[in-house]
Amino acid sequence: MNAIISASELTSDLASDNPPVLLDVRWQLSLAKAAGEPSFDGRAEYAAGHIPGAVYVDLDRELAGPPGAGGRHPLPDVAEFGAAMRRAGVSSAAPVVVYDGGQGWAAARAWWLLRWTGHPDVRVLDGGLPAWEGELSVDTPQPAAGDFRPTPTSAGLLDADGAAALARSGVLLDARAGERYRGDVEPIDRVGGHIPGAVSAPTTDNVAPGGRFLPAQELGARFKALGASDGSQVGVYCGSGVSGAHEVLALAVAGIPAALYVGSWSEWSSDPSRPVAVGPDPQ
């Protein structure tokens, strides 16, 4: 199954006998997060207009645990995540489509969490809400409670030690902007730079202008040039496990499975004993 869905495909699926559950995860990282303030919350935008039937999901509160030693967006409590998904109407037998404001990062985080916890049918709306050409609704749906029970596995998930090991034995991609990877700037975390051995692979290079993913063949060629291809052991990290999920999604579109280091640089860099590399080279 493709990990993404076009707006026209979504329109068709919504009219089918088994329409998907729609989740609206509009969110954007705020640099104020470094000062302990919340990130941009898309609830007001959701209230002003959303795809009919979509339920709003709060990334900071429902797709992540409280910030701390595990990073700025650590894994949520699994039981609380499952309860949030059931409140949104998510069931194991019903497909799910997730969208955000177009950047794709927040939607990818929801996609990754649902897939990691065992949901078999989750896709991201390619291009997000801006790609939607249908009507918008201001009505807040009250879906029937779903039955989804998350069953996470160790597959697809990296911790700090696993990320460090993969940087030596496989391919660890850093999805942040190049200047943060190099350590030229660091607007949020304690120190700039990257995990030694990680390869710079900004997730913004996986999309065309407008936010839609490049064709699968182009993505495959890009990742192959970075050392990642089908059969490779591949992992991804970013600042706090959000844009990294978007890169894992791009890899999935290219047919390359990859694991996510959720704690990412916000966890790694918080420990002064962990090594930090700077400059354009992995080492």
Q: Which of 171, 238, 248, 249 is catalytic?
A: 238
| Dihedral Cα 253, 258, 259, 260, nearest 10 deg | -50
Q: How far is residue 259 from each of residues 140, 184, 252, measured CA to CA in Å?
A: 35, 27, 11
Per-residue confidence in pLDDT tens, the chain, 283 aa: 799 999 999 999 999 999 999 999 999 776 444 444 445 678 999 999 999 999 999 999 999 999 999 999 999 999 999 999 999 999 999 999 999 999 999 999 999 999 999 999 999 999 999 999 999 999 999 999 999 999 998 889 999 999 999 999 999 999 999 999 999 999 989 999 999 999 999 999 999 998 999 999 999 999 999 999 878 899 999 999 999 999 999 999 999 999 999 999 999 999 999 999 999 999 8
- Supply the pLDDT for residue 32: 43
- Supply the pLDDT for residue 39: 55
- For helices 105-116 and 243-253, what crossing angle results, to 10°? 70
0.85 exceeded by pTM: yes
- Supply the pLDDT for residue 40: 67
Cα distance between residue 127 and residue 213, in whole Å = 8
- Supply the pLDDT for residue 204: 97
Q: Which domains are present in the chain?
A: 4-131 (3.40.250.10), 157-268 (3.40.250.10)
238 is catalytic: yes
